[in-house]
Amino acid sequence: MYFMELGAYIKSKVSDIKKFSENTGYSLKDIGRIFDGRLMLSPSQLREISEAIGVSMDEMINNKHNMNIELVGQFSNEHNKIMMLDYIDRYIDLIEAIKMERRKI
């Protein structure tokens, strides 16, 4: 869920996809994956993207005002449960990587 929300936030800040592609060096396909939350981004990539869209990295990754979390109860499909747990693991990895990156600064 976090990566999809992050991608939606980035997409909302990009007015010209072609220019964004030129400024960041991402292909149009990769930009689509970023917008959909399907491309894992390192802290340095997140910083580069935040600069390209004109917001701070903290604002971009902590845009809680755009987070829409719905409680859905139990999973009826085991595949969806595994997929959600994978997203949670990725989120935790991302937060840990950001913390490590901040310590270097």
Q: Using one digit for the tens of pLDDT, what is the confidence trace for 23-71?
A: 999 999 999 989 988 888 888 899 999 999 999 988 888 875 454 545 4
Q: Which residues of 24-58 are buried (b: 16+ CB within 10 A; e: fewer)?
A: bebeeeebebbbebebebebeebbbbbebbebebe
Q: For the chain, which residues make up each domain, given as ranges?
A: 2-104
Mean pLDDT over residues 15-21, rounded? 94
Cα distances from 18 to residues 14, 33, 42, 99, in angstroms, run: 10, 15, 22, 31
pLDDT of 12 higher than 80: yes
Other CB atoms within a 10 A radius of the CB of residue 104 amount to 6
Q: Which fold has domain 2-104?
A: 434 Repressor (Amino-terminal Domain) (1.10.260)
pTM of the model: 0.60
pLDDT, residue 105, reads 66
